Structures are given as structure tokens and as C-alpha cells.
Structure 1
Amino acid sequence: MSEDLGTPVLDDHLHLDPDRGRGMAAVDDFARLGGTHLIVVNKPSWHLGPVPSDPEEFRPVFETTVEAARAASDRLRGRAWPVLGVHPGLVSRLVDDEGYTADEAGALMRAGLDVAAEFVAEGRALGLKSGRPHYDVTDAVREASNAVTRHAFEHGAALECAVQLHTEASEDLTDLAGWARDAGMDPSRVVKHYAAGRLAGPTPSVMSEKDRLVRAAEAGEPFLMETDFVDDPDKPGMVMGPKTVPRRVRWLLAEGYEAAVRTAHVETPRAVYGIDTEATLATDPSAETD
């Protein structure tokens, strides 16, 4: 039997590795504590296979993530959706380890995004992920990464889908919001993964630490909640576990932040992704797999 928190509960960014990680056991932990909906983001491609050298080598990674989201949906009162793309850290793998130039690496990453966009166009994925390294890189790598991000925004505009971003830590990413607008994309559909409590520009997907969540709740602006659960058996304590978002929702409700919970789990998902977490929620918690 799963706990019913009286609201949809969405983790906006977590990873599932059904072969090496906890996979569906992590989904069951999330659901048992009251979690109802998941955005399942593909792990970096080199964690689920070789470092890609051809755009088609991204496809098995995306297929694995789509299947994991489908299996997760069968265990949730709500459902799971995949978000697919190319982790910005790939540029360093290609340049530092594989001998690519920055331009060559950027071209391969843009081609990988083209493959991910096919899944969105076919209705098999909800949105795209992209971004730029959060660590120091050369000017050439930074320029190549920015070009990859702009390419993701072009797809986001054409497909009318959200784009999740990995970026440097910042509370001001108005430059990226401007790039999205230039590409014809609504910048509110750009989501900053691993965000702090406030953010200028994209919509923040806030890491579910209490202090960050209080800042987001009291700001009164659209936001999402996430764990960035990595599902890596070699790093069991890395980032946050799958039980965290439902636990934090329970805490927010106890602290009187009902409006913020509705913002993060109903209103912002609808505005950013076009998903209805209420309409997709089964009314009977016992309908879910124990």
C-alpha cells in the first residue's frame, strides 16, 4: 500500500538504470512514500554504453530510457515520461579522451540531439535535455557547447516541447532564456536542472533540499522539484534518493506551503510540459504495485 499525500507528486529529474542500478525498486520506493509521477532522464550515454562515435549510438540509450519510463508507469498511480538528450559532459569525453576537436564534438552532440528529437516527434518522449558544462572549459569547448544548446532550443521550438538544461550553478540564466526566445521557443519551457530556490530566466527545477524549497515556495514563482537520483550502484549515496521528493512534499504541506506544492506538482508541469498530473492520477492508492 502506498501513502496518499492528497496531491500529485512529481520528481522532475531522476535516472533509472534497470540493468546495473536499482531500477524499478527505486520507483517502488518513490511510490510507497506517495510519489506519483516521474520525469525519467537518460543517463549520460557513456554510462549505458560506449562513448558514442556515431549519432545512431545514442539510440540504444534512448530506447533503454523509454522502456524504463514505460515500466515505471506500470508501478505508479500516475505515470512516468522520458526526457532524452545529450549530456553536456560528453564534450569533455570526446575532446579530452577521444581526440575530437571541439567543433567535431559539437557536431556529434547536435546529431545526437537530432536522434532524441525523433523520439519527441513520434510521441515517445516528452522533451529534450542539453546544456553546457558546469566546470571550467576552454573557450572553444564553451562555444561548441553553447552551439549544442542553441540547437536544442531550435528543436524545442519546432516540436513545441520543453528542454531541460544542465548548466553551471547560477541564479541568473537570462542569456539562455534569450537564446530560447531567439529560436522561437517560450523560455518558460526551458528548465534549469539542479536549480537553487530562485532563478532569473528559465524555470527552476529545484533540488529538494529544505532551504532551497523554502526559497522557491516564498518566491511565489513557477518551479519544479527534483532529486537527480543517479541510480548508480558504484555511487549509492550520490545526490538524493528516490524517497526524497515525497518526503519533502509531506514536509512542505506540514509547514503550510500548500500553494507551493500545487505550483510545483500541478501548475508548473502543465505549463512547462503540457502534462496533467491530476488527470493522470489514479484515485485509489491500492491500484499501484506494492
Structure 2
Amino acid sequence: MEDLGTPVLDNHLHLDPRHGRGIDAVEDFAHLGGTHLLVVNKPSWLLGVEPEKDDPRDDFRAVFEETLDAVSDADSVLRGRAWPVLGVHPGLVSKLVDDRGFTPEEARDTMQTGLDVAAEYVADDDCDALALKTGRPHYEVTDAVWEASNDVLKHGLALGAEGDCAVQLHTEGTDDLTEVAAWAEERGLAREKVVKHYALGRLKGPTPSVMSEKDRLLDAVENGAPFLMETDFVDDPDRPGAVLGPKTVPRRVRWLLEEGHEDAVRNAHVETPELVYGIDTEATLSE
């Protein structure tokens, strides 16, 4: 198992032991020097879960419990730690409205209930869930669906403020989310605790979780602001390696170190995880 001399955190990936590579992907990550993972639950429909309109709480619990099991398995492999990030994928709104006949308002209520359940796990000291996941579609939708999605996003920000936890966002591609950062602050959540997943190297407003492509990373390095690194590995056997494979973050960390960017590596893997999540990636290497 390679030791890169630093914690190495992948801030956003998925694990699917039932259908995908599961623990094998974690072993690949760890073998190249990866030490810490934030494991985000897969979209509910990809796990065969269809939340009901009247009482979807147990449906969402099934999704979250599967993620917790995957995190527990990952913990047994890593030199550091894995933590779950639990929430509702914003694409669910289209599954509910377009495929199942929900009104946008019914979809909004269902998804907000899912976030309520996720927040219960975050509040549970035995769970160690670090953050909530929410957002809005990254594709074109009707005005009614967009409004409902923004309501879901704002609800997630409010829950993050109540639980004093970070919120990871899945949104449209953009380098400016100052409006969303303002929504967070209006609800009592510091903007640095809002994280845009699949980010470019520069972002106005929240903290960027930068896709670990060299050009994006160099942009983040040059910018010098807090940032995280991720792969968004989807662990789908029909899409092997998508979006980036689990080996990517440790490989990019090695490359950054070889290029003399030690300060940037510390920024992404020690300082920003502490700023956003309150975790100490150095101390947890000894656990």
C-alpha cells in the first residue's frame, strides 16, 4: 500500500456492493495511497427504491442503510476513515414528475421528507454521517419543477444549519453560485460549509469539490482558495470507471506533489476538510 506522505481524500464517490465493484474499488484507492473517502448514497432509483407519495421515510432509509453498510466495509480497508454523505439526488424530481405522475409540489414534499430522514442520520452520533446532499437539476426543466427543486435545495440548507453540518450540492455546471451561498447564510449555514460537487477549479460562493482533471486542479491551485478533490466514481458495472475511476485522486495527488504543489495538497486534503466538515484527516490516520 503506497504512502504519499499526506492524507488523500476523495470528497465524492459512490459505492455499490450489490451491483458494482464495492470494496474492490476502495482497495484500488487505498493501494495507490488513498486514505479517506466521503461516500455519497447512489440515487434511489439506481438501487431499485421508488419512494411512495404518502410516507416515503422507510424507502429513503433503505437507501441510506445500504450506504452505511458500504462505509463500514470501506473503513476496514482504509488507513484513514470513510464517512457517509446522505441525501436526495435532485434528478429524482424528474423521475417522480415525468415517470410517476407526481405534481412538482408532491415531488418537492417527497424529496424534502427524504432530506428530513437524512438529517436524522446526521444527528445520530453513532452514524457519523458528515453531510447532507441536495441540489437542483443540471438539465432543462419546467419553471414549476425548477421552483420545486429550489425549494428542496433551500430545505437542505436549512437542515444543514439546524444540524451544523455541511451540505453537498449537485447543480447545473457553473462557476458562480453566490445566490445559493446567500440562501445558506440567510438560513444560518456558513457558505464554506456548502460544497459544489463536480466543480471547476474556481467557484464564487460555496466551496468547490473539484473534479480531479489536471486542468481543473491547476486552476484551483493557482486560485489558492479552499477546495476539495473528487472523482464522482459511480460504481456502475455498465459504466466502468465513470465518471473518474477510484485510483484518480491518489494519482493526481502524486502528480501535484511531483509538480511542487505541496501547499495545494495540504489545502485540499487537510485544511479544507477541517474547514468544511470539521474532520482532522491527519489525526484519523492513526485510528
> Structure 1 length as normaliser, TM-score?
0.96
Paired AA for residue 20 in structure 1: H
Distance in 2 (alpha carbons) for counterparts of 1:212 and 1:55: 38
Secondary structure of the residue aligned to 2:37 is strand
Paired with 2:241 and 2:226, the residues of 1 have a C-alpha distance of 29
Residue 38 of structure 1 aligns to which amino acid in structure 2?
Answer: L
Tell me the residue number matched to 1:33: 32
Q: Does the CA-based 8 Å contact 1:56-1:112 persist in structure 2?
A: no
Distance 1:152 1:228 in 2: 20
Give the counterpart of 1:86 among 72, 76, 88.
88
Corresponding residue to 2:269 among 265, 271, 274: 265
CA distances 1:188-235 after superposition (whole Å, capped 9, x unpaired)? 100000000000000000000000000001101000000000000011
Matched, 1:250 2:261: no
CA contact (8 A) 1:84 1:116 kept: yes
Tell me how far 1:49 sits from its aligned partner.
2.1
1:240-287 Cα deviation digits (max 9, x unpaired): 00000000000000011100000000000001001000000139xxxx
**Using CA pairs below 8 Å that are at least 6 residues apart, which structure has the higher relative contact order?**
1
Q: Distance in 2 between matches of 1:18 and 1:273?
A: 26
Matched residue SS, 2:286 = coil
The answer to whether the Cα contact below 8 Å between 1:49 and 1:61 also exists between their aligned partners in 2 is no
**DSSP-derived class of the 1:82 partner:** strand
Distance (whole Å) between structure 2 residues aligned to residue 244 and residue 282 of structure 1: 24
Structure 1 letter corresponding to 2:67: T
Match of 2:141 in 1: 137
Structure 1 unaligned residues grouped into runs of 5+:
284-290
- 1:224 aligns with one of 210, 224, 228: 228
Question: What is the CA-CA distance between 1:52 and the residue it aligns to?
Answer: 1.3
What is the rounded CA distance, in whole Å, between the counterparts of 1:197 and 1:263 in structure 2?
13
- SS of aligned partner of 1:221: coil
Would you say 1:234 and 2:238 are equivalent positions? yes
Aligned to 1:157: 161
Higher deviation after alignment, 233-242 or 131-140: 233-242
Deviations 1:33-85 (A, max 9, x none): 00000000000011112221123201011001011111101100001000000
Secondary structure of 1:281 counterpart: helix
Looking at structure 1, the residues matched to 84 and 241 of structure 2 have their Cα atoms a distance apart, in angstroms, of: 23
Residue 6 in structure 1 maps to residue 5 in structure 2: yes
User: Structure 2 CA distance, aligned partners of 1:40 and 1:139?
Assistant: 32
Q: Secondary structure at the match of 1:212?
A: helix
Gaps of 5+ in 2: none
Corresponding residue SS for 2:112:
helix
**Number of residue pairs matched by the alignment:** 282
TM-score by length of 2: 0.97
Structure 1's consecutive aligned runs of 4 or more residues displaced over 3 angstroms after TM superposition are none
Residue 148 of structure 1 is matched in structure 2 by 152
SS of 2:217's equivalent?
Answer: helix
CA contact (8 A) 1:208 1:248 kept: yes
* Alignment equivalent of 1:59, drawn from 40, 58, 61: 61
- Assess if the C-alpha contact under 8 Å between 1:191 and 1:204 holds in 2: yes
Q: Please give the alpha-carbon distance, in whole angstroms, between the structure 1 residues aligned to 2:233 and 2:159.
A: 26
Determine the C-alpha separation between the residues in 2 that align with 1:40 and 1:132.
20
Look up the match of 1:121.
123
Structure 2: distance between partners of 1:55 and 1:105 = 14
CA offsets, 1:118-167, max 9 Å, x none?
A: 00000311110000000000000000000000000111001000000000
- Identity among equivalent pairs (%): 69
CA contact (8 A) 1:224 1:265 kept: yes
- Preserved CA contact (<8 Å) 2:49 2:63: no
What is aligned with 1:276?
A: 280
Q: Matched residues in 1 for 2:11 and 2:241: separation?
A: 19
Q: Could you tell which deviates more after superposition, 19-28 or 48-57?
A: 48-57
SS in 1 for 2:284: coil
Match of 1:107 in 2: 109
Contact 1:38–1:80 (Cα < 8 Å) also in 2: yes
What is the CA–CA distance in structure 1 between the aligned matches of 2:88 and 2:187, rounded to whole Å?
Answer: 19
Aligned pair 1:23/2:26, yes or no?
no
